[in-house]
Amino acid sequence: MMILYSYWRSLAAYRVRIALHIKGIPYEVKSMDLIQGDQFNIDYRKINPQMVVPTLVDGENILTQSMAILEYIEELHPNPCLLPNDPIGRSRVRAISLISVADTHPLVIPRIRKYITQNLAHDEATLETWISNWLSKGLEAIEENLDRSKETGTYCHGDSVTFADICVVPQFGAARLFGINTEPYPRIANIFDTCMKIPAFFDSRPQVQPDFPKET
Ligand SMILES: N[C@@H](CCC(=O)N[C@@H](CS)C(=O)NCC(=O)O)C(=O)O
């Protein structure tokens, strides 16, 4: 069985959980507490020298970077298909995905947060402004893309789930959890609500992960 190194709050691991679920691939979760610093353990570093999650272990193969993992899963199990048939469509789906994966998410991960508060000595309020600014900017760009394109359908691209939904939904969920005003993003909100009716999205969400903090 595949092993997924994951963390309940990780948007990148969330993307992979959704894709594995959609493709019906069973996997075992190994939880990494990124706040406690599990990612820096020497044994994990041997598996993932970047010291981040997710890492997917498929037999002898170790896969890293959520987008690269999504592509791997897609090639291994083409059905149901998570990319459009045409090159322009695939390019659009990857572009929407990367607004989140490459241009938004890296700005709000734990090591960046830590750098802002510890190395640059900014307070929590400044950190919150930082996070909220970048999450919002990403959503703004995605909303405008969705609004302008005739390819936008029930989902980000057409009427079936693609990588784009798998990348946008976790970011939108994080923005809501973070208390950001999401009213300016009605198209994303609709897609989010539609996706949440799909077990692959609903059952992969942070709040139902085994390592989600229990209330004391
Ligand atoms: N671009 C990578 C991002 C990986 C990443 O930064 N993951 C975060 C959690 S979402 C992490 O493990 N951070 C550890 C840290 O910042 O120390 C991907 O999409 O897989």
The reply to whether ligand 1 has any atom less than 6 angstroms from the CB of 70 is: no
Is there a single domain that holds both residue 100 and residue 183? Answer: yes
Choosing from 53, 134, 166 the residue with most ligand 1 atoms within 8 A of its CB, the one to mutate for a pocket test is: 53
For the chain, how many structural domains are there in total? 2
Residue nearest atom 17 in ligand 1 by C-alpha distance: 111
Question: Is the minimum distance from the CB of 108 to ligand 1 under 6 angstroms?
Answer: no
pLDDT tens-place string over residues 50-69? 999 999 999 999 999 999 99
- Could you say which of 63, 80, 97 is where a domain stops? 80
For the beta sheet containing 27-31, the strands, ordered from the edge strand earlier in sequence to the opposite edge, are 27-31, 2-6, 55-58, 61-64
The minimum-distance atom of ligand 1 relative to the CA of 15 is: 19
For 71-104, the pLDDT digits (tens) are: 999 999 999 999 999 999 999 999 999 999 999 9
Identify whether 209 is part of a domain: no
Fill in the DSSP letter of residue 196: T
The verdict on residue 95 lying in a domain is: yes
Atom of ligand 1 nearest to the CA of 54: 20
Residue at 207 is within a domain: no
The reply to whether 215 falls in a domain is no
Residue 143 has pLDDT above 60, yes or no: yes
pLDDT computed for residue 6 by the predictor: 97
| Average pLDDT of span 119-147 | 97
Residues 193, 92, single domain; the answer is yes
The domain boundary, picked from 56, 80, 104, lies at: 80
75 plus 169 within the same structural domain: no
Ligand 1 atom at minimum distance from 34 CA:
14
Average pLDDT, stretch 125-145? 97
Q: Which of 107-111, 155-159, 211-215 has the weakest average pLDDT?
A: 211-215
Question: How would residue 214 be classed by pLDDT, with cut points 50, 70 and 90?
Answer: confident
In a domain, 208, yes or no: no
Render pLDDT for 121-133 as a digit per residue (tens, 0 to 9): 999 999 999 999 9
Confidence of residue 18 (pLDDT cuts 50, 70, 90): very high
Element at 95 (helix H, strand E): helix 87-101
Tell whether 137 and 185 lie within a shared domain. Answer: yes
Residue 34 is assigned to a structural domain of this protein:
yes
pLDDT exceeds 80 at position 171: yes
| pLDDT tops 60 at residue 216 | no
pTM, to two decimals = 0.96
Task: Give the range of the structural domain holding residue 190, as residue numbers without chain letter.
Answer: 87-202
- Residue from 30, 32, 109, 127 to probe ligand 1 pocket by mutation (most atoms less than 8 Å from CB): 109
Ligand 1 pocket, 65 CB below 6 A?
yes
Ligand 1 centroid, distance to 161 Cα (angstroms): 24
